[in-house]
Amino acid sequence: MPRNLVVSVTLMLVACGRPDVVQHVDLDQSYPTQAGGTLIDAMTGEPSNLISMLAGESAAAAIAGNIFNSLLKYDKNLELVGELAQSWEVSPDQKSITFHLKPGMLWADGKPLTSNDVLFTWRLVTDEHTRTPYGADYKLVQKAETPDPLTFRVTYAQPYAPALDSWAGLHILPQHLLHDQDINTTAFARHPVGSHYYQLSEWKNGERITLIRNPHASQGQARIDRLVSRFIPDPAAQFLELMADNIDSMNLSPIQYARIFPARPELLKKIAQYRELGNAYTYLGFNLHHKPWDDKRVRLAINYAIDKQELIDGVLLGLGESIASPYKPGTRWSNPALKPYPYDPKRALALLKEAGFEDHDGDGLLDRNGKPLSFEILTNQNKERQMSAVLIQRRLKDIGIDAHIRVLEWASFIGRFIKTGDFDVVVLGWSLGQEPDQFNIWHSSQMDPGKFNFIGYSNPTVDHLLEAGRLELNPDKRQTLYHSFAKQLYDDSPIVYLYAGYGLPAIHKRVRGIDSPAPPAGIGHNSYEWYIPEPLRRNEISQ
Amino acid sequence: MTQYLLKRLFWMVPLLVGISLISFLIMHLAPGDITTTEAGFNPKASEESRQKLRKIYHLDEPLIVQYGLWLKRMGTLDFGESFAAHQRPVLWQTKDKPGSPGMIQEALPITLLINILGLVLILATALPLGLISAVYQNRPPDRAITVFVFIGFAVPGFWLALILMYWLGVTHNWLPISGIHSLGYETMTWPAQWLDIGRHLVIPVFISTLGGLAGISLFVRNGMLDVLHQDYITTARAKGLSEPTVVYRHALRNALLPLITLLGLSIPGLIGGSVIAESLFAIPGMGKLFYDAVLMRDFPVIMGILTIGAALTMIGNLLADLAYAWADPRVRRGVAG
C-alpha cells in the first residue's frame, strides 16, 4: 500500500514537469547583435567570498572577475593594457609607476571611483591585520600617493618588474563602503559592490550566484543581462544538465570532449565545443637534494625515457601540448628555440650507464654500487596526474627502473611530504601565468620549508637571470632574459615537462560572439561582447 | 525515573568532552592546516603571510592550548567561525553579523528533510515487506522480497542515480536533474515552491530509500520469525484466535520492540548526509559540508559537526532507552527497581 502511495506521489510530481521542449529554431542561422538574455554556467566549487585578496580559490576569481576591476588587465594576446587606468608610465629610474585613471568612473551604487579607492585597497592588502596570503608583492611599495583623484603613483625601493602584473591582479575595492569595516568579517565580502560589467543580484549558498548587468559599469555595457553560475560539484551531473539544456556552458573533460560528444550528433547540433590553451602544465619533479637526482645525467635519462606524446594521447586523449619552457606556448615568454626532449630510451640507457647505472646482477633492474635504481613517485588525488604516473612507471620499467606510485590527499601531500622535503619524485603542476617572473619557484633562496623551490634547484646563472628579470621593466629586454632562463632550465632538466592540457569549454550555440579559434587568453576574454539572440533564449526564466 | 534521567544527562557532559578531545587530536593528526589548503600552492602567496594567518587562527600554539581555547568557546555554546568560508559562523547566525547565516544552520534543514523523508519511506515500505517475508517464510513472496531488497542494497547508488537522472531528466525532461530549487523559485507561489522542492527530491530520496530497505526489512523479518516461534504465539493459536489477530496483535507488537533501538541509533544519522549523493545531486547538505571542511582542514567546522553528531548519538541512545521503557512494561519495572 505505501508503495502505491510512493508511486502515485512520484507520478504526480512527474506529471507536473514543464513540457519545456526546445522550440524548433535554427541554431546555425545568424542573428544580429542584441542585448539581454541569461547565460547559465556550471562551476564545480563555490567561492568562499568575493573579495579576491581574501579568497584563494579559482571559483572566487571567476565570479569576482565579473564584479571588480583592476588597474590593468591582460588583453587577448596576454599583453598588459589599462582597465581602470587609461594609461600608465614608468619613471626613468624604473622605480615608480604612475597610473592615470579613466575619468568619470562610478561604483555600481553611483558613487565616484577615484584614486583614493586604489590607495585604500593598497592599504588594505598590505595591512598586517588583513587575512590575505597575497600581501608580499604590494609590501614592496615604499610610497603610494594620490596627487589627484585620477592619478595613483607607487614608488618601489628598487625596480620591480612583476609590479605591473601585481596591479593587474588586485581588485580595487570601494573605500566609501569599507573604510569603517573590518575586512576580515565584513558582510561586503558576500554582498559586494564593484565597478565591472556585473553586480551581484543573488547568492544562494551552495546553489548558485546570479549577477545582473551593472548600469554604471566602468568599461561600458556588457550585452548579456544576467549571468547565473550554478554550483554542481559532479562533472557527470553537469554534463547531464548541459544535455538537458538546463545550463549553457561547462568545462569538458577530455573524455567528454573527444569520446562522448562525437558519438552524439544531437549534442553537436546544439552545443559548440572550444579548445583553448590551458593555464597550467604537469611535470615530473626530482628532489635534487637526494641521490641520484643530483646527477644531471640521470635526470636527462628519465626525461628521454618518458614518452610525452604517449602521455598526451593516453591521459588527455590528444587534447594537450608538450612544452619545453614553463610558459604558455605561442606567447612572447616561451622560447621558440627549445623543443621538448624526444622519447629515446637508448639515449636514456647510455646516459644512465655513464652515471654508473647498469644491470650488474642481471635481475632486470639497473643498479649502481649494488643498489638498484628504485624510487617512489608521489602525487595527489588528481586523475590525470595518477594516470600519467602509471604510464611513466611503465616506460621506466622498460629500461630497468623500478618506480612505485603513491597517491595522497592534497593537504597531507603538502604538509607531510612537500614541506618536509621527504620525497624522491613528484608529479605535480604549476600554473602558466601571464607574468614571466618565477623567482619563487626557481631561485635558490626559496628552498626553505613552505617555500616553492621545494625540489631544491640551485643554479647561479638562473638566480642571476631571475634577479635581473625582476629589475627590468622593458618587455623586450625581459623577453631575452626569460628566454635564457628557460634555456638553462631546459639544459639542467630539474623537472620533466610532461604536458600542458587544453581548456575545453562547451557552450550552447545560442550564445554568439565567441572568438574561435581561441586567442592565447582563451575564449572568455571578450565575454562581455557575447550575446544571445532573442529567438534562441530560454522562455522559462523571463522575469 | 527523574533521577535516572538526570544521572544520564549528567554523565553526557564528561563523555562529550572526552569525545571532543579525541576528535580534536585525531583531526590534528592529519598533516596540514588551512594555510596549506587555502592558496597553499600559489607562488604569489608567501610563507610569511601564511605564518601570519597561522598566528591569527592560533594554529601556532601547542595542541592542548588550541583545544583549551576551543573548549572555552564551547562553554558558551559558541561554535566559532569557519576559517575557509570567510568567517561565516559555523552553527548559527549571530546578532553582530546579520546576512551571514550559519553553515550548519543552512545545510541541516535540507539534509534533515531528505533523511526524514527517506526514513519514513523506508519504514513505510520495509515494515510490510518484512512482515510479508516472515509470514511467508521461505515461500515465493519471501524469496522475491529478499532478492528485491538485496538488489536495492547492492546496486551502487551513484550509478542508479545517474541512470535515473539521465532517463527522467534528460530523455524525458520530467524531473530536474540536480540542485534543490529551480531558477525562478523566488517568484513562485508557495504550493509551487513546495512542488518544486518535491520534484528536486524525488530521485535523491528514492535512491536513499532503496539502499536502506534491506537492513530494516530483514530486521523486521527476523524479529517476526523469532516471535512467531515463541510459546505464547502457540498459546494464542491454541486459544483459537484468528491468524491476523495472532500476527498483528500478538506477534508484531513484540517484534517491533528492537526497532526502537534501531531508530534511536539512526537519529545521529539523520544529520549526516552522503557526500556522494550530495555532490552528484548538487545538494548543499551536511555530508558535503563536512567533507569539504576535512579537505580544507577547516577545524571549527569539523569540530562543530563532530560535536553535534556526538551529542545527538547520546541523545538518540537516551531516547531509545526511554521509548523502550514506555513501550515495554518489563523494562519499565526494571528501571524503577
Which 445-474 residues of chain A touch chain B by CB within 8 A?
A: 448, 450-452
Cross-chain residue pair B279–A207, CB shorter than 8 Å: no
State which amino acid sits at residue B135: V
Average pLDDT over residues A291-298: 91
Residue A541 has pLDDT above 90, yes or no: no
**Nearest-CA residue of chain A relative to B28?**
A412
Q: How many CB pairs under 8 A join A and B?
A: 195
Query: What pLDDT shows up at residue B90?
Result: 81
Beta carbons within 10 angstroms of residue B78's beta carbon:
16
Average pLDDT over residues B301-313: 87
**Nearest-CA residue of chain B relative to A230?**
B179
Total length of chain A: 543
- Between CA A173 and CA A500 the distance in angstroms is 34
Residue B94 has pLDDT above 60, yes or no: yes
Query: What pLDDT shows up at residue B87?
Result: 73
Confidence label for A543 from pLDDT (cuts 50, 70 and 90): very low
Q: What would the pLDDT profile of A384-407 be if each residue is shown by its tens digit? A: 999 999 999 999 999 999 999 999
State which amino acid sits at residue B167: W
- Between CA A56 and CA B84 the distance in angstroms is 10
Beta carbons within 10 angstroms of residue A203's beta carbon:
20
Q: What would the pLDDT profile of A169-202 be if each residue is shown by its tens digit? A: 899 999 999 998 888 888 888 899 999 999 999 9
Query: What pLDDT shows up at residue B52?
Result: 80
Q: What would the pLDDT profile of B228-275 be if each residue is shown by its tens digit? A: 888 888 888 888 888 888 888 888 888 888 888 788 778 777 877 778
Q: Is B5 helix (H, G, I), strand (E, B) or coil?
A: helix
Looking at the partner chain, which of B45, B53, B86 has a beta carbon nearest the beta carbon of A189?
B86
Give how far the C-alpha of residue A283 lies from the chain's centroid of Cα atoms, to the nearest Å.
16
Looking at the partner chain, which of B35, B36, B166 has a beta carbon nearest the beta carbon of A240?
B166
Confidence label for A15 from pLDDT (cuts 50, 70 and 90): very low
Looking at the partner chain, which of A132, A233, A410 has a beta carbon nearest the beta carbon of B37?
A410
A188 interface with B at CB cutoff 8 Å: no
**Spatial contact of A528 and A309, defined as CB atoms under 8 Å apart:** no
Instruction: From A440, A442, A443, A436, select the one nearest A474 (Cα to Cα).
Output: A436
Domains and CATH numbers, chain A: 3-60+196-275+505-536 (3.40.190.10), 72-178 (3.90.76.10), 280-502 (3.10.105.10)
Mutation target vs A (from B46, B50, B145; most A CBs, 10 A cutoff): B46
- Minimum mean pLDDT range among A256-270, A458-472, B74-88, B215-229: B74-88
Query: What pLDDT shows up at residue A21?
Result: 44
Q: Quote the percentage of chain A above a pLDDT of 90.
A: 61
Cross-chain residue pair B49–A134, CB shorter than 8 Å: yes
What is the grid cell recorded at B212?
Answer: 536502506
Contacts of B167 in chain A (CB under 8 A): none
Residue A505 has pLDDT above 80, yes or no: yes
Looking at the partner chain, which of A3, A10, A244 has a beta carbon nearest the beta carbon of B125?
A3
- Between CA B42 and CA B36 the distance in angstroms is 10
Cross-chain residue pair A1–B53, CB shorter than 8 Å: no
**Nearest-CA residue of chain B relative to A20?**
B173
What is the grid cell recorded at B190?
Answer: 508557495
Query: What pLDDT shows up at residue A427?
Result: 95
Residue-range domain boundaries for chain B: 105-298
Contacts of A133 in chain B (CB under 8 A): 35, 38-39, 42, 44-46, 49-50, 53
Beta strands in A157-287 (DSSP E): 198-204, 208-213, 226-231, 249-251, 271-273, 276-277, 280-286
Looking at the partner chain, which of A1, A234, A416 has a beta carbon nearest the beta carbon of B279?
A234
Q: Give the fold, CATH level 3, of B105-298.
A: MetI-like fold (1.10.3720)
B140 interface with A at CB cutoff 8 Å: no
Residue A125 has pLDDT above 70, yes or no: yes
Instruction: From A343, A337, A322, A340, select the one nearest A278 (Cα to Cα).
Output: A322
Interior CA angle at A361 toward A359 and A399, to 5°?
A: 25
Mean pLDDT of chain B: 84
Cross-chain residue pair A540–B280, CB shorter than 8 Å: no
B35 interface with A at CB cutoff 8 Å: yes
List, as own/partner pairs, every contact residues A298-302 make where C-beta atoms lie below 8 angstroms and the sequence separation is at least 24, other chains included: A298/A351, A298/A352, A298/A355, A298/A357, A299/A492, A299/A493, A299/A494, A299/A496, A300/A341, A300/A348, A300/A351, A300/A493, A301/A347, A301/A348, A301/A349, A301/A351, A301/A352, A301/A355, A302/A348, A302/A396, A302/A401, A302/A496
Q: What would the pLDDT profile of A129-165 be if each residue is shown by its tens digit? A: 888 778 888 999 999 999 999 999 999 999 998 999 9
Higher pLDDT, A540 or B209: B209
What pTM was computed for the model? 0.85
Query: What pLDDT shows up at residue A2?
Result: 45
DSSP for A89-149?
A: EE-TTS-EEEEEEPTT-B-TTSPBP-HHHHHHHHHHHH-TTS--S--HHHHTEEEEEEEET
B286 interface with A at CB cutoff 8 Å: no
Cross-chain residue pair A133–B295, CB shorter than 8 Å: no
Query: What pLDDT shows up at residue A540?
Result: 52
Query: What pLDDT shows up at residue A24?
Result: 60
Looking at the partner chain, which of B87, B179, B180 has a beta carbon nearest the beta carbon of A184?
B87
Residue A262: burial class (beta carbons within 10 Å; 0-12, 13-18, 19+): exposed
Looking at the partner chain, which of B30, B81, B288 has a beta carbon nearest the beta carbon of A411?
B30
Looking at the partner chain, which of B86, B162, B282 has a beta carbon nearest the beta carbon of A232?
B282
Query: What pLDDT shows up at residue A434?
Result: 83
Average pLDDT over residues A315-339: 91
Which 399-438 residues of chain A touch chain B by CB within 8 A?
A: 409-412, 414-416, 419, 430, 438
Confidence label for A3 from pLDDT (cuts 50, 70 and 90): very low
Which 77-136 residues of chain B touch chain A by CB within 8 A?
A: 81, 84-87, 97-101, 106-107, 121, 124-125, 128
Contacts of B49 in chain A (CB under 8 A): 132-136
Which 174-233 residues of chain B touch chain A by CB within 8 A?
A: 174-181, 183-184, 186-187, 195, 198-199, 202, 206
Alpha-carbon separation of residue A422 from A148, A251, A380 (angstroms): 53, 35, 15
- Eight-class DSSP state of B274: P
Mean pLDDT of chain A: 88
Total length of chain B: 337
Average pLDDT over residues A311-318: 94
Query: What pLDDT shows up at residue A1?
Result: 38
Residue B216 has pLDDT above 70, yes or no: yes
- Eight-class DSSP state of A28: T
Query: What pLDDT shows up at residue A173?
Result: 94
Q: What would the pLDDT profile of A361-373 be if each residue is shown by its tens digit? A: 888 889 988 889 9
Cross-chain residue pair A2–B42, CB shorter than 8 Å: no
Residue A343 has pLDDT above 80, yes or no: yes
Best-predicted range by mean pLDDT (A27-36, A59-68, A128-137): A59-68
